[in-house]
Chain A
Amino acid sequence: MPADEVTDPVTAKQVRSSAGATAMPPETAPARPQVDVSAARAALRDVPHEPGAPKPDPIVVVDGVRRTFGGLTAVDVAHLEIQRGVITGLIGPNGAGKTTFFNLMTGFDRPDEGDWSFNGTSLKGIPAYRVARRGMVRTFQLTKVLSKLTVLENMRVGATGQHGERLLRAMFAPFWRKQETSNTTKADALLERFLLIKKREDFAGSLSGGQRKLLEMARALMADPELVMLDEPMAGVNPALKQSLLGHVKSLRDDGRTVLFVEHDMDMVRDISDWVIVMAQGKVIAEGPPDSVMGDQRVIDAYLGSHHDQDISEDMEDKIIAQAQAEIDDDNSSTAPADVEGEHRA
């Protein structure tokens, strides 16, 4: 089985690129490499819980990617691999560089140095739209819906390989009408799944923040991506809806897609991730299955060192509070109480 998995992506890509050349309608596009979820997860069992640990079947490999803004090093990832076919959570305090990392990977920003590959081919210097066409589609932390287009039109924009998007054919509807119909069917199915079907004809600009998140995610799926990168998909989503959204994310994995997501809600991270990567100050500081990572001292330190305004799970919070208390006690024991009072009076 593992041997199959290694060769799979290569053949899949060949099929994909030839499909692009003949511009087959999406519904007849070849299926994604079917990854056995349980096998992929089992493969992670032997991966060491160390930053930059090699994975048995990585879909993304990052090497020495660094991005600085003036004096600030926003991202500095020495080595990182993302396992195919599983859900990987990317966590870290605000300003850790998660969004910048997403931007770098997807071609929306350029690193100062470093290289990274998707399915074995380097993405260095590849423009964002080509990255998306290769099957790596991202959503944005600050949602980007096309406000004055209807929800359905937003979805249709997401479909790939449309004949009607070429200028000369666009003028003559018979060239693209059939494809449009099949894209619409596909869009409707996704809207149904993401509970937006009633909003189909509304302008996307009239949606609530949570609905926009849903629309963005559904729209990304129109492109049939191999890797879905979600930047804080749950932010602003109504708690009642979160549970079903969790189900959707899991179902992406069952479809054979790989998911990388940024999230602050630790319960969600624990619930759905097969693997968790922790970033702090631009670096990957820990990796591992959710439970092992959340107990990791480095992770607790990272959150403690940052502004303490994150949504973190209770036991992690307890640990952090205990740790903070211990430090305060330490401070107090080394400083005479009288001095402290004196400072207060002054």
Chain B
Amino acid sequence: MDWQSIFSEALQQGLGPVAAVYCLAAIGLNVHFGYTGLLNFGQAGFMAVGGYAVSSFVATWGLPFWLGSLAGLFAAGVLALLLGVPTLRLRADYLAIVTIAAAEIIRQTIGSVTLLTYFGGQDGLQGFSSSFANLNPFSGPVGIPGVVTWRPYDFWTLLVCWVLAALCCLMVWALMRSPWGRVLKGIREDEDAVRSLGKNVYAYKMQSLMIGGLIGGLAGIMSALQHSAINPSFFATDTTFFAYTVLLVGGAARVLGPVAGTIVFWFLISFLDLFFGQATSGTNPLIPDWLMNSNQASLVRFIFMGAALMLLMVYRPQGIFGDRRELAIDAR
């Protein structure tokens, strides 16, 4: 058992570009769910429109990369508007239904044969990230030698992602300590009470949906750049639920909740993968073949991850950063 390589690779994942993309997605959900109480189950849809806008602008239409990125953000904002207008006046569960359906509709539409020439069907698109890659100042592995290192392009994307995540966290912090954020939290608690005090609840919910959606769009753009490719499987429903998991592990309605959540989540999941992988390989594996073989090893991590989440919810339901006092209050 090579503990050093397990730790090193798990750390590489925990701080890596995938984790950083999920951090962005979860920051968006934190604005929606954590602060405003909006149940957006379609964050993958916001990511998809962001990612596909930038990749199709560049790969299909040959437009500049920066224009594609702007289009990605714009598309995510428009999606928020489209989803919000019919649902935000209704009860909270309608938004949940509409967002989860919309995300799936977007994914199926983008992957359809009819739009093959624009979005590349199930194979998706490639060759749109060269402008971004050209900006990469790094060559050769980056990191702390012997502890953790990344390939230059991976490090470039994770750096950009984490900087964006830091900026988003800063914005969320600034907003949520303000009277505007207080109204949002009030809406989460009881929107009629807030309405009775003269606040336009619908407008606030729309603003929240758009801000969280824009951050989701940003996550989608970074996800496409990080893979230098895009296809519909990136944006399946489990993407949204991983982002929710990240948020709840870290602690909802905490500025740094998504950051801590994503590092812990991706560290653990790759740690378990590597551990079981090593424990079932070789001539004399640690775990005997009749109990678990190397094919099963990569799936077992999800079972353990699920169990770990259950334990977390039982013993620390507020997440890593959450405030236990808040939980003591029953939502009357």
Residues of chain A whose beta carbon lies under 8 Å from any beta carbon of chain B: 106, 108, 127-130, 132-133, 137-140, 144-149, 153, 156-158, 160, 162-167, 170-173, 176, 180, 203, 205-206, 216, 219-220, 222-223
Is the pair B179, A164 in contact by a Cβ cutoff of 8 Å?
Answer: yes
Q: Is B151 an interface residue (CB 8 A)?
A: no
* Known contacts A148-B189, A149-B189, A205-B331; A137 and B182 CB within 8 A of each other: no
* Known contacts A148-B185, A205-B330; A170 and B175 CB within 8 A of each other: yes
Residues of B contacting A145 in the complex (Cβ-Cβ under 8 angstroms): 189-190, 193
Residues of B contacting A223 in the complex (Cβ-Cβ under 8 angstroms): 197-198
Is the pair B174, A219 in contact by a Cβ cutoff of 8 Å?
Answer: no
Q: Knowing that A166-B180, A223-B197 are A-B contacts, what are 13 other residue pairs whose CB atoms are under 8 Å apart, sorted by A's residue number?
A: A128-B196, A129-B197, A137-B197, A156-B182, A162-B179, A164-B178, A165-B179, A167-B175, A170-B174, A170-B178, A171-B174, A203-B326, A205-B330
**A145–B196 alpha-carbon span in the complex (Å):** 11
Residues of B contacting A108 in the complex (Cβ-Cβ under 8 angstroms): 192, 195-196
Instruction: Point out the residue from A133, A147, A158 that lies within 8 Å of B332, measured CB to CB.
Output: A147
Is the pair B198, A160 in contact by a Cβ cutoff of 8 Å?
Answer: yes
Is the pair A171, B178 in contact by a Cβ cutoff of 8 Å?
Answer: yes
State the Cβ distance, A199 to closest chain B Cβ, in Å.
Answer: 13
**A153–B330 alpha-carbon span in the complex (Å):** 18
The stretch from B56-64, B72-80, B121-129, B199-207 touching chain A is: B199-207
**A258–B329 alpha-carbon span in the complex (Å):** 35
Instruction: Point out the residue from A106, A137, A173 that lies within 8 Å of B178, measured CB to CB.
Output: A173
Instruction: Point out the residue from A132, A146, A173, A180 that lies within 8 Å of B198, measured CB to CB.
Output: A132
* Known contacts A147-B329, A147-B331; A158 and B178 CB within 8 A of each other: no
For residues 302 through 332 of chain B, which have their beta carbon under 8 Å from a beta carbon of chain A?
A: 325-326, 328-332
Is the pair A129, B175 in contact by a Cβ cutoff of 8 Å?
Answer: no
* Known contacts A203-B325, A205-B330; A165 and B199 CB within 8 A of each other: yes
Is the pair A133, B198 in contact by a Cβ cutoff of 8 Å?
Answer: yes
State the Cβ distance, A241 to closest chain B Cβ, in Å.
Answer: 20
**A249–B303 alpha-carbon span in the complex (Å):** 60
Interface pairs (10), CB distance under 8 Å: A129-B197, A129-B199, A145-B193, A149-B182, A164-B179, A165-B180, A170-B175, A170-B178, A173-B174, A173-B178
Is the pair A138, B329 in contact by a Cβ cutoff of 8 Å?
Answer: no
Is the pair A157, B194 in contact by a Cβ cutoff of 8 Å?
Answer: yes
**A286–B326 alpha-carbon span in the complex (Å):** 47
**A149–B200 alpha-carbon span in the complex (Å):** 19
**A219–B174 alpha-carbon span in the complex (Å):** 25
Is the pair B175, A176 in contact by a Cβ cutoff of 8 Å?
Answer: no
Residues of A contacting B198 in the complex (Cβ-Cβ under 8 angstroms): 129-130, 132-133, 137, 160, 223
Instruction: Point out the residue from A127, A139, A146, A164 that lies within 8 Å of B189, measured CB to CB.
Output: A146
Q: Is B248 an interface residue (CB 8 A)?
A: no
Residues of A contacting B185 in the complex (Cβ-Cβ under 8 angstroms): 146, 148-149, 153
Cβ-closest 8 pairs across A and B = A205-B329, A164-B179, A170-B180, A144-B193, A132-B198, A170-B178, A146-B189, A133-B198
Q: Is B84 an interface residue (CB 8 A)?
A: no
Is the pair B195, A128 in contact by a Cβ cutoff of 8 Å?
Answer: yes
**A119–B199 alpha-carbon span in the complex (Å):** 21
Residues of B contacting A133 in the complex (Cβ-Cβ under 8 angstroms): 198
Q: Which residue from chain B places its CB closest to the CB of A175 in the assembled complex?
A: B178
**A144–B189 alpha-carbon span in the complex (Å):** 9
**A106–B179 alpha-carbon span in the complex (Å):** 24
**A205–B193 alpha-carbon span in the complex (Å):** 14
Is the pair B196, A132 in contact by a Cβ cutoff of 8 Å?
Answer: yes
Q: Is B183 an interface residue (CB 8 A)?
A: yes
State the Cβ distance, A16 to closest chain B Cβ, in Å.
Answer: 13
**A128–B177 alpha-carbon span in the complex (Å):** 26
Residues of A contacting B332 in the complex (Cβ-Cβ under 8 angstroms): 147, 205
Residues of A contacting B174 in the complex (Cβ-Cβ under 8 angstroms): 170-173
Q: Which residue from chain B places its CB closest to the CB of A149 in the assembled complex?
A: B185
**A101–B207 alpha-carbon span in the complex (Å):** 32
Q: Which residue from chain A places its CB closest to the CB of B187 in the assembled complex?
A: A146
Instruction: Point out the residue from A127, A130, A158, A171 that lies within 8 Å of B197, measured CB to CB.
Output: A158
Residues of B contacting A216 in the complex (Cβ-Cβ under 8 angstroms): 193
Q: Which residue from chain A places its CB closest to the CB of B190 in the assembled complex?
A: A144
* Per-position binary interface string of chain B over residues 156-185, scored 1 when its CB falls under 8 Å from any chain A CB and 0 otherwise: 000000000000000100110111111101
Q: Is B152 an interface residue (CB 8 A)?
A: no
Is the pair B189, A147 in contact by a Cβ cutoff of 8 Å?
Answer: yes
